[in-house]
Amino acid sequence: MGQEANIQPSGVRGFDAHHPPAGELIDKCVHCGFCLPVCPTYVLWKEEMDSPRGRIYLMKMAADGAADINETWVSHFDACLGCMACMTACPSGVDYGKLIEATRAQIERRYTRSPAEIRFRRFLFSTFTRPGRLRALMLPVRLYQRTGIQAFIRRLAIPKLLPARWQVMESLLPEVPAQESIPEVIPAQGKRRYRVGLLLGCVQRVFFAQVNTATARVLSAEGCEVVAPAAQPCCGALLVHAGEEERAAQLARRMIDVFEKAQVDAVIINAAGCGSNVKEYAHLLRDDPQYAKRAEAFAAKCRDITEFLAELDTRVARHPLRLRVAYHDACHLQHAQGIRMQPRALLRGIPELELVEIPESAVCCGSAGIYNLVQPEAAAELGDRKAGNVAAVEPDVVVSGNPGCLLQLQSALARAGKDVPVRHTIELLDASIRGIRL
Ligand code: SF4
Ligand code: SF4
* Ligand 2 environment, Cβ below 6 A: 29-35, 52-53, 56, 86, 89-90, 92, 94
Closest residue by CA, ligand 1 atom 8: 39
Rounded to whole angstroms, how far apart are CA atoms 128 and 131?
A: 7
pTM summary value:
0.91
Distance 428 CA to ligand 1 centre (A): 30
Q: What single letter denotes the amino acid at residue 255?
A: M
Closest ligand relative to 60 C-alpha: 2
* Ligand 1 environment, Cβ below 6 A: 38-41, 52, 55, 80-86, 96
Please determine, for residue 210, whether its predicted confidence score (pLDDT) is greater than 90. Answer: yes
Ligand 1 atom closest to the Cα of residue 42 is 8
Closest ligand relative to 76 C-alpha: 1
Closest residue by CA, ligand 2 atom 4: 32
Report pLDDT for 6: 36
Report pLDDT for 28: 98
**Range of weakest confidence among 148-152, 271-275, 330-334:** 148-152
Report pLDDT for 81: 95
Distance 80 CA to ligand 1 centre (A): 5
Report pLDDT for 181: 78
Please determine, for residue 1, whether its predicted confidence score (pLDDT) is greater than 50. Answer: no
Distance 164 CA to ligand 1 centre (A): 23
Please determine, for residue 8, whether its predicted confidence score (pLDDT) is greater than 60. Answer: no
Q: State pLDDT tens for residues 368-392.
A: 888 888 888 999 999 999 999 999 9
